[in-house]
């Protein structure tokens, strides 16, 4: 495909030297399949010296709780890549993860608090 020429759009935009598929070792899905685009993560104290800069960029955004989708948007990374990178960081103890959205039991109490929150807006 013409747009896949070396130094194509992605690399040009992000000034990236390492192709995305190399960064994530060719993985296309996170090992932890609970990772959802709404899952929130937070950086944990850990020695970051061995991390590549792309991973450090992710961690830098995670000083406060942030969702996978937000990370992707801020870092201009496709969602799949973001998910895999977050998965790698979580596995290695760099990131803590909140409850996975698809595992949350939507109960009346949770909905009640969402309702109250919306009414306060």
Q: What are phi and psi of 28, to 5 degrees?
A: -115, -10
Query: Which span sits near other proteins by CB under 8 A: 11-19, 50-58, 85-93, 98-106?
Result: 98-106
| Binding-site size, other proteins (CB under 8 A) | 41
Interactions with other proteins, residue window 11-40 (CB under 8 A)? 36-40
73 binds other proteins (CB under 8 A): yes
Q: Is 57 in the site for other proteins (CB under 8 A)?
A: no
Residue 25 or 116: the one with the smaller Cβ distance to other proteins is: 116
**Is residue 106 a contact residue for other proteins (CB under 8 A)?**
yes
What sign for the dihedral angle of Cα 7, 9, 15, 19?
Answer: negative
Q: How many CB atoms lie within 10 A of CB 28?
A: 10
Binding stretches for other proteins (CB under 8 A): 1, 36-40, 42, 65, 67, 69-70, 72-74, 78-80, 82, 96-104, 106-108, 110-119, 121
């Amino acid at each position: 495909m013409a747009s896949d020429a070396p130094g194509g759009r992605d690399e040009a935009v992000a000034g990236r030297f390492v192709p995305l598929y190399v960064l994530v070792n060719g993985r296309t899905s996170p090992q932890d399949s609970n990772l959802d685009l709404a899952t929130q993560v937070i950086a944990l104290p850990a020695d970051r010296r061995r991390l590549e800069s792309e991973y450090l960029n992710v961690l830098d955004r995670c000083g406060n709780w942030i969702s996978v989708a937000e990370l992707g948007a801020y870092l201009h990374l496709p969602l799949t890549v973001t998910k895999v990178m977050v998965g790698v960081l979580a596995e290695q103890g760099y990131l803590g993860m909140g409850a996975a959205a698809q595992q949350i039991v939507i109960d009346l109490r949770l909905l009640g608090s969402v309702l109250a929150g919306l009414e306060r807006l």
